[in-house]
Structure 1
């Protein structure tokens, strides 16, 4: 099996390592089967899609809709946009987690803004009728729970996509482009331990009031998020890993 590639843009070493470990754990891959590239740390360079079974894009402290961007953020966005252009054109296996929504939606000419931002928490995700039979949702209930926390989201369904899952406060939670390009607004890689660790890292990043940290951690462990959301990752690897 060719390895999978996880692209990361987290500008915090602990957060980047934790994200890689959570994706590794929930995909069931061995470390040599999931390569890790931190795009915020160095130029992405050439990527030969033929070298990989599939590509994943992790979450980010960057926002596509940011009014002001550092030179590094502009570089990261330009490099990822060029890669996503190739991925979508080739219909190459891709799974974008949260930040991937903005990247792919922009490629499609959709709008990404703050209208459907969601605070850190657990939400109910509902599959659409079009999700029936989709390989990445195999074995996942029609309604399941997952963790979210994002400052931007799709403003309406982007043109030309198949909407696979929706939520009450943020209507676009998962969609597919073509047959093999997927994005999720919710975080399939996060369980309560992962979320608690991430909240501690990003306590002062504007996702929540730092005074609420302890209550949010209590919420995470008391939430109905049961692990069904992780199957998106396992299904991606099983379907495209051969």
Structure 2
């Protein structure tokens, strides 16, 4: 296998889940039905900060030098993303998003399924695969943030999320390069593929459970 095989396998096997994670219902779930601009930004800020903290924690205890460098670089990306989202919020909304500098807490971060799942992973190959899975999920969600602010007649904020989504291309390339560096046999590739798929599955399960709790059918209306 190759890194591209992992990417294509996950995208193919979980095409339905990824598609639904990139639907308008995904943003409805992320905000728990509160589709207002500040609430959308708060959800984005929490997700970005959670990613930054998670990948920084991976970098801190990762024995593989290549993986450590990648995790640290992506943690830095996500910190920058969180800051850019916070800049779009007024002070009160930033507090609600859990900005620790403004006296927020980590409760919202701890409640998110993906960072909780990622923090349970400690193998280098598993982490490399899971990183790719998280990037695939983030790409789908950011497409909805862009669409929301386009529809909300806020081109400035839409541009911010379009730029953040663009950064995911570089993250994906780093994740694929890392897979090439750490996977040495078929068993490694299978582990990495399963880890990437698991992240998508975890995200989709949370998506479904949240929508159902709001009385919304997670399946698209045909």
Q: TM-score, normalised by structure 1?
A: 0.33
Higher relative contact order (CA 8 A, sep 6+): 2
Which has more helix, going by share of residues?
A: 2
State TM-score, norm by structure 2: 0.35
